[in-house]
């Protein structure tokens, strides 16, 4: 959520910045609600003061033995008027809060202009694209020939966009996850974290999934309502909700492996073939909580940590800076890492690393105590996929295939494969 003070003092600036995202901000409605809020709040305070003054007069009249009924009637009338004013103020504030919750973050000034992914800026490419003496297959055909990826079983057990892995490919995904966790904990200083895979509405509201993206979530029929996590970003970042962190404990760095669940309500018809866009998938998430002055540097660091995994696996990739129109709702700045998939002949996203600045922290009331002022201030939050395990599995399969459709295990994964060096058909 953006700082309300920006709307009161720099409304034109806010409207201009939101226009970069092509976000239709109704500045007139906001100004009208703000004017109503001020008027009703002033009236409410005046009524409170007058009621307090009359109540004091009642006490003085009682002490003198005077008739207090007329004064009590006046206080009763003021009390009724105060309740009405407080209800109206609460309604206006609720409207403003709902409006604010639907407004995206202000973009970092380094984010390039553009309407969609076509305007994303390539920072650099890493690695050499593999050259095959045969036509490269995609992961769907490879998995089918190996008899170790089965979408029919997934559909039978659940529905479309679910998959069953078995044999060497199931172990390969587990090995990929283990490599990621070991690298981020042993080399990058993250603390491995295990979290609930169900979260409440407050947690999703804190990181920005609610109310805007409720249709993309799987909701459990429970009391209170719970949701399956769309990413470990949600439960991990909520660790610091309503907390004041001592400066000596910053930065906080968490890594978490979890399943992720997305209904993909807004992605109808996209990537229906294969494992690219599933309702359930595995991901290793890296999260940092930092003091504001360190967030830009932390963003580069966190993105670099995700890149290390791709380099260890020797997977060609490119680093992209997302343009204004392609940057996510809560993010101020995002880098996407896109891995080369020979079966598609294209780069595809495998990690999205974002700096949210204080946008999530304001919703979460996640703060740190500034030693210079001694006062609590909002932290900055960052996260990224380090990496998406299913998409990494796809990339390994397609980049390490041979002419017979076998998958050769990358050197970095051999310690986790129990002696298996090549995955062949069952």
Task: Summarize the annotated binding site for L-serine as residue ranges.
Answer: 231-233, 262, 285, 383, 385
CA 253, CA 235: separation in Å to the nearest integer? 14
Q: Are the C-beta atoms of 251 and 288 separated by less than 8 Å? A: yes
Say which residues have a Cβ less than 8 Å from residue 299's Cβ, sequence separation at least 6.
Answer: 333, 335, 353, 354, 355, 382
Cα–Cα distance list, 24 to 11, 104, 155, 290 (Å): 14, 11, 39, 31
Both tokens of 170, joined, read 């199931």
Q: Please name the residues in contact with 214: beta carbons below 8 A apart, sequence gap of 6 or more.
A: none
What are the E-state strand segments in 145-264?
Answer: 149-150, 164-165, 191-192, 198-200, 219-220, 226-228, 244-245, 252-261
CA distance 49 to 59: 16
Q: Give Cα 100 distance to the centre of its chain.
A: 17
Exposure letters 19-30 (e unless 16+ CB within 10 A, then b): ebbeeebeeeeb
- Which residue ranges make up the annotated binding site? 231-233, 262-264, 285, 349-352, 383, 385
Token pair 């906080």: residue: 252
C-alpha distances in Å from residue 131, one per residue of 141, 220, 320, 403 = 19, 47, 24, 12
Mention every residue, 6+ apart, whose C-beta is less than 8 A from residue 34. Answer: 7, 8, 96
User: For residues 198, 202, 208 and 210, what is the CA-based torsion angle, rounded to 10 degrees?
Assistant: 80
Q: Are 371 and 392 in contact, with CB atoms under 8 Å apart?
A: no
CB 426 within 8 A of CB 146: yes
Q: Give the separation between CA 90 and CA 72, rounded to whole angstroms.
A: 26
Pairing relationship of beta strands 317-321 and 121-126 according to DSSP bridges: antiparallel
Helix (H, G, I), strand (E, B) or coil at 337: strand
Residues annotated in a binding site for ATP: 262-264, 349-352
């Amino acid at each position: 959520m953006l700082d309300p003070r920006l709307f009161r003092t720099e409304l034109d600036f806010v409207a201009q910045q939101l226009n970069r995202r092509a976000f239709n901000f109704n500045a007139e409605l906001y100004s009208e609600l703000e004017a109503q809020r001020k008027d009703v709040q002033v009236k409410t305070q005046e009524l409170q003061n007058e009621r307090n003054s009359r109540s004091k007069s009642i006490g003085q009249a009682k002490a003198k033995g005077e008739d207090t009924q007329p004064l009590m009637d006046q206080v009763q009338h003021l009390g009724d008027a105060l309740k009405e004013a407080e209800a109206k103020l609460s309604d206006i504030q609720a409207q403003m809060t709902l409006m604010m919750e639907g407004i995206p973050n202000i973009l970092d000034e380094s984010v390039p202009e553009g309407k969609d992914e076509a305007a994303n800026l390539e920072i650099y490419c890493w690695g050499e694209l593999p050259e095959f003496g045969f036509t490269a297959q995609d992961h769907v055909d490879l998995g089918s020939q190996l008899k170790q990826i089965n979408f029919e079983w997934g559909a039978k057990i659940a529905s479309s966009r679910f998959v069953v892995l078995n044999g060497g490919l199931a172990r390969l995904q587990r090995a990929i996850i283990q490599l990621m966790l070991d690298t981020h904990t042993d080399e990058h200083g993250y603390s491995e974290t295990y979290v609930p895979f169900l979260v409440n509405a407050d947690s999703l509201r804190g990181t920005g999934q609610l109310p805007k993206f409720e249709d993309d979530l799987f909701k459990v029929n429970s009391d209170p309502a719970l949701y399956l996590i769309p990413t470990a970003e949600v439960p991990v970042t909520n660790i610091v909700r309503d907390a004041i962190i001592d400066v000596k404990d910053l930065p906080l760095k968490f890594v978490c492996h979890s399943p992720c669940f997305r209904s993909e309500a807004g992605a109808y018809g996209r990537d229906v073939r294969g494992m690219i866009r599933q309702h359930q998938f595995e991901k290793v998430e890296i999260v940092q909580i930092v003091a504001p002055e360190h967030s830009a540097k932390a963003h580069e660091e966190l993105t670099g940590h995700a890149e290390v995994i791709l380099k260890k696996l020797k997977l060609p990739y490119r680093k992209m800076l997302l343009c204004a129109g392609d940057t996510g709702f809560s993010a101020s700045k995002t880098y996407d890492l896109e891995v080369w998939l020979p079966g598609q002949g294209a780069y595809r996203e495998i990690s999205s690393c974002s700096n949210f600045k204080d946008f999530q922290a304001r919703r979460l009331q996640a703060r740190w105590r500034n030693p210079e002022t001694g006062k609590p201030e909002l932290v900055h939050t960052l996260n990224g996929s380090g990496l998406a395990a299913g998409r990494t599995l796809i990339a390994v399969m397609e980049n390490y295939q041979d002419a017979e459709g076998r998958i050769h295990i990358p050197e970095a994964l051999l310690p986790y494969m129990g002696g298996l060096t090549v995955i062949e058909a069952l």
